Structure 1
Amino acid sequence: MKEILREPLFLLILVAIAVILLLLMYQAVARDKKFAINVEKILAGIFLFAISGATGAGVMPFTKLHPAVMAGRETTAPTVVGYIAIYGAFLFILSPRLRSTLKDYLKALFITMSSDPSLALLLFMISFSVLWSDSTDVSLKNGLVILETTVIAIYIGKQYSWQDLYPWWRTVNLFVMLWSLLKTNAGEDGCWNGILGHKNQFSFFMAQTSVLWFLFAFYSPKNRRLAIVFGLLASLAVQKGCSGASKILVIILLGLWFYLSVIKKLPVQWAVVSVILFLIISIGLAIVVINNLEAIIVGGLKKDMTLTGRTEFWPLIIEQINERPLLGYGVAGFWQSWRGLENPAHTIIVVKSQFVPPHSHNGFLDLACDLGWGGLILFMLSFFNNIVKGVVYLTRAQLPEAGLPLFILTYTLMTNLTETGLFGTTSIWFWYIVMSVRLSLDISEKT
């Protein structure tokens, strides 16, 4: 195949066909508004598929479409050219639509940042962390790809309502699940990794998928049977992922929806307190089950006691963060194994097992490593801001869409207690930004 592609004539024919297809798609998008919307959702879905979970889809060609490749130390020039060409083609196809939809982009950005100043300051820190990073090139590249993901998420959040986002979200997750069922990538222990690279991240993502489809089954009687099938398949994937935390997550996320239907009728201030209590109880439940009930975990949930291992190196990470408490080490400036003794994390090691963690196994600590306690505080302020706005939206809109913001917040919190993925080119960060934008716009429109 490679020899055929090296033939100039054959390559020229392929380029000509690609150009013709691009022009035809461009014309169709320019003429048909409904077609343009569908094309935009498909192309945006490809991007979301590529960054699924905390690791991204580990299958070709999506590994080359992940924004992280633009920041990779070993990324080759052809990969960079291909990445720019593909996404450049996407923008060209959508350009007739973007000429109109981008007109209110800055307005949406202003509304979001003014209603969530902590998030605005956090994005400012991401943009300028290169100034205090010891690895300026690494922080510059990684900061830019995070901002790229953020820019796209802002557009999706301002352009589509929750009624549009809900089916799109379910569909992308469905494709991740189906591909993972075909390519289970089971480890030596028999646990599935799917196309997401690690069993824990895979299991978390499948937990999210199962709940999304079970909710759709509950609220959509016409599609109930098929939705239940998809929910059960995702639940099977959760079981095969062998992650005890993901099974607890399913219970928490399902419980959240019944809880929301009750507090929806409460005054806003009491509903906010109720949501915070639910999150605190959920955290406590997760810690108790994962860390203390060994018989249940090892026997029933097939979960090894890895939280204990995490708590052995978390204090070491905190010590390093305290060396640069305000601003941190810059985006992607902490975990740098290739630097040897100059790696800021070279002292992070579990003495008993000699385990060297590749990251904090906690999304909040990883954020603090990059942007210091200052960055983490800004995120938490934004998080609580969105809890309040999420509750306000819950009281004004109809379920299930009304509960999606609080669903995202709960998922973000619970999955980053023992794993990473909060901060970076991940679907977790993507959906957090989408939610922040959508909530800001929804609240501003009704006040």
Structure 2
Amino acid sequence: MKEILRVPMFMMIIGGISLIIIMLLYQAIAQDKKIAINAEKIILGIFLFAISGATGAGVMPFMKLHPVALSNRETTALTITLQIIVYGVFLFILSPRLHSWLKDYLKALFTTMLSDPFLALFLLMILLSALWSDTPEVSLKKSLVILEVSAVAIYVAQRFSWKEIYPWWRTVNLFVLLWSLVKTNPSSAGCWSGILSHKNQFSFFMAQTAVLWFLFAFYSPKDRRLSIVFGLLASLAVQKGCSGASRILVIILLGLWVYLSVIKKLPVQWAVVSVILFLIISIGLGILVINNLEAIVVDGLNKDMTLTGRTEFWPQIVDKINLRPLLGYGVNSFWQPWRGLENPAHGIIIARVQFIPPHSHNGFLDLACDLGWGGLILFMFSFFNNIVKGVVYLTRTQLPEAGLPLFILTYILMTNLTETGLFGSTSIWFWYIVMSVRLSLDTTAKI
């Protein structure tokens, strides 16, 4: 096969066919609005599929389409070139659909920056972090990739309403689920990681997928049977992922929707307090079950007691952050094992088992490593700002769409207590930006 690909005539034929297909798609999108919208959702779905979860889809060709490939040290020039060509072709195909997008995009960006100035400052920190990084080239590349994901998320948020986003979101998740059922990638212990490379991240993603489909089953009687099947398949994947935290997460996320239906009619100020109370109780419940109820966690959930191990190196990480408390080490400039003794994370270890963590196993600590306590404070202010706006949106709109912003916030909070993925070129960060922009637009619009 490789020999055939090296034949110039064969490559010319493939190139010619590809060009014809591209031009036909361009023409169809230019002439038919419905085709244009569907093509746009498919292309954006490919992008979201590639960055799924905290690790991205670990299957070809999506590994090569993940934006992080543009910034990895080991990525070849050919991979970078091909990714630029592929996304360039996507933009060309969609160009008839994009002819008037810039004005709306800038309006959405401006509205978000005014409505959430903390996020605006946070994004500025990302852009400038190379200035104080010990490895400025690494930070600049990673920063640009994160901003690329953010830019796509802003586009999705200004282009589509929650009612349009919700089916698109669960459909992309469904493809991740189905592919993972085919390619389970079990560990020696039999725990699945699917196409997401790590069992914990896979389990969290499947928990999200299960709840999205169960909710759709509840609110859409016509599609209930099939939706329940998808929800049950995702639940099976959660079980096979061997993550006790993900099973707790399913309960918390389902409980959230019952809770939201109760507080929806409360005055906004009381609803905000109620949501914050729910989040606090959820955190407490998660920590209690995972860390203290060993009989339940080990025997009932098949969960090894890794949180105790985390608490051994978390203080070490905090000490490192305190060396650069305001701005941190720069984007992706803390966990750098390839630097040897110059690695800022050098020396962080669980001494009793000689385990050297590859990251903080906490998304908020990893964010602080990159952008300091200053960056973490900005993010938390943005987070609480979005809680308030999420409650305002909840009181104005009908479920289930009304609850999606608070669903995203709860998911982000719970999944980043013991794992990472909050900050980076991940779908977790993607959905945070989508939610921030969409809430800014929805809560500032006149009723």
- TM-score range (shorter-chain normalised) is over 0.9
Question: Matched residues in 1 for 2:40 and 2:172: separation?
Answer: 14
Tell me by how many angstroms 1:446 deviates: 2.7
Give matches, 1:42-441, under 5 Å. Answer: 42-441=42-441
Question: Matched residues in 2 for 1:332 and 1:430: separation?
Answer: 17
Report the counterpart of residue 36 of structure 2 in structure 1. 36
Question: Matched residues in 2 for 1:325 and 1:26: separation?
Answer: 50
Secondary structure of the corresponding residue to residue 188 of structure 1: coil
Question: Matched residues in 2 for 1:101 and 1:299: separation?
Answer: 54
Secondary structure of the corresponding residue to residue 191 of structure 1: coil
Secondary structure of the corresponding residue to residue 58 of structure 1: coil
Which one-letter code corresponds to 1:399 in the other structure? L
Question: Matched residues in 2 for 1:353 and 1:113: separation?
Answer: 46
Question: Matched residues in 1 for 2:100 and 2:166: separation?
Answer: 24
Which one-letter code corresponds to 2:446 in the other structure? K
Number of residue pairs the alignment of both structures matches: 447
Which one-letter code corresponds to 1:438 in the other structure? R
Tell me by how many angstroms 1:34 deviates: 1.1
Which one-letter code corresponds to 2:40 in the other structure? E
Secondary structure of the corresponding residue to residue 99 of structure 1: coil
Report the counterpart of residue 17 of structure 1 in structure 2. 17
Secondary structure of the corresponding residue to residue 335 of structure 2: coil
Question: Matched residues in 2 for 1:82 and 1:129: separation?
Answer: 28
Secondary structure of the corresponding residue to residue 98 of structure 1: coil
Which one-letter code corresponds to 2:325 in the other structure? P
Deviations 1:42-71 (A, max 9, x none): 000000000000000000000000000000
Secondary structure of the corresponding residue to residue 354 of structure 1: coil
Secondary structure of the corresponding residue to residue 96 of structure 1: coil
Question: Matched residues in 2 for 1:279 and 1:108: separation?
Answer: 29
Question: Matched residues in 2 for 1:56 and 1:400: separation?
Answer: 27
Question: Matched residues in 1 for 2:409 and 2:367: separation?
Answer: 16
Secondary structure of the corresponding residue to residue 421 of structure 2: coil
Secondary structure of the corresponding residue to residue 97 of structure 1: coil
Which one-letter code corresponds to 1:437 in the other structure? V
Question: Matched residues in 1 for 2:344 and 2:403: separation?
Answer: 41
Tell me by how many angstroms 1:398 deviates: 0.2
Which one-letter code corresponds to 1:27 in the other structure? Q
Question: Matched residues in 2 for 1:380 and 1:248: separation?
Answer: 24
Tell me by how many angstroms 1:103 deviates: 2.4
Report the counterpart of residue 3 of structure 2 in structure 1. 3
Q: Which moved more, 1:15-24 or 1:373-382?
A: 15-24
Question: Matched residues in 1 for 2:67 and 2:299: separation?
Answer: 40
Tell me by how many angstroms 1:127 deviates: 0.4
Identity of aligned residues (%): 78
Question: Matched residues in 2 for 1:157 and 1:117: separation?
Answer: 17
Deviations 1:360-402 (A, max 9, x none): 0000000000000000000000000000000000000000000
Tell me by how many angstroms 1:102 deviates: 2.6
Question: Matched residues in 1 for 2:84 and 2:20: separation?
Answer: 19
Question: Matched residues in 1 for 2:2 and 2:374: separation?
Answer: 50
Tell me by how many angstroms 1:100 deviates: 1.6
Report the counterpart of residue 443 of structure 2 in structure 1. 443
Runs of 4+ in structure 1 off by over 3 angstroms are none
Question: Matched residues in 1 for 2:102 and 2:31: separation?
Answer: 18
Question: Matched residues in 2 for 1:329 and 1:260: separation?
Answer: 39
Question: Matched residues in 1 for 2:319 and 2:446: separation?
Answer: 46
Deviations 1:289-316 (A, max 9, x none): 0000000000000000000000000000
TM-score by length of 1: 1.00
Which one-letter code corresponds to 2:83 in the other structure? Y
Secondary structure of the corresponding residue to residue 347 of structure 1: coil
Question: Matched residues in 2 for 1:378 and 1:158: separation?
Answer: 23
Question: Matched residues in 1 for 2:288 and 2:446: separation?
Answer: 41
Which one-letter code corresponds to 1:391 in the other structure? V
Tell me by how many angstroms 1:101 deviates: 2.3
Question: Matched residues in 2 for 1:298 and 1:288: separation?
Answer: 13
Deviations 1:413-438 (A, max 9, x none): 00000000000000000000000000
Question: Matched residues in 2 for 1:220 and 1:411: separation?
Answer: 23
Tell me by how many angstroms 1:117 deviates: 0.2
Tell me by how many angstroms 1:104 deviates: 1.2
Tell me by how many angstroms 1:237 deviates: 0.3
Secondary structure of the corresponding residue to residue 350 of structure 1: coil
Question: Matched residues in 1 for 2:119 and 2:430: separation?
Answer: 13
Which one-letter code corresponds to 2:64 in the other structure? K
Secondary structure of the corresponding residue to residue 99 of structure 2: helix
Secondary structure of the corresponding residue to residue 133 of structure 1: coil
Query: What runs of 5+ residues in structure 2 fail to find an aligned partner?
Result: none
Deviations 1:67-98 (A, max 9, x none): 00000001001101110010000000001111
Question: Matched residues in 1 for 2:438 and 2:32: separation?
Answer: 26
Deviations 1:114-171 (A, max 9, x none): 0000000000000000000000110010000000000000000011000000000000
Question: Matched residues in 2 for 1:446 and 1:353: separation?
Answer: 58
Query: What runs of 5+ residues in structure 1 fail to find an aligned partner?
Result: none
TM-score by length of 2: 1.00
Question: Matched residues in 2 for 1:24 and 1:103: separation?
Answer: 28
Which one-letter code corresponds to 1:372 in the other structure? G
